[in-house]
Amino acid sequence: ISVGDYHLAHAVGELFTGQRTDDAGMLALLAPYSPHRQRLVRLMHASGFSKQRYGARMSIEDHRDR
């Protein structure tokens, strides 16, 4: 498990609890799955799960006519 990567900790926290977490919280959430922590993270990425995005989306700008 990559500790220090805040993207991973936030995604794991949001997957399990619906809220962001830090590295210590991520390790606590994954503790029951100790021998399979990396496998769970890989399954999370393979499932297409992504953490909630904040902020407005940018509109697509067409640059072909410039």
Domains of the chain, by residue range, sit at 6-47
What is the predicted pLDDT for the residue at 60?
83
Q: What average pLDDT score do residues 18-30 get?
A: 91
What is the predicted pLDDT for the residue at 31?
92
Q: Which residues contact 19 (CB under 8 A, 6 or more apart)?
A: 13
Band (pLDDT 50/70/90 cuts) for residue 29 is very high
- Cα end-to-end span (Å), the chain: 47
CA angle 54, 29, 5 (to 5 degrees): 55
What is the predicted pLDDT for the residue at 27?
92
Structure letter (DSSP) for residue 14: H
Query: How many whole angstroms separate alpha carbon 24 and alpha carbon 11?
Result: 13
Is the pTM above the cut of 0.85? no
Is it the case that residue 54 has pLDDT exceeding 90?
A: no
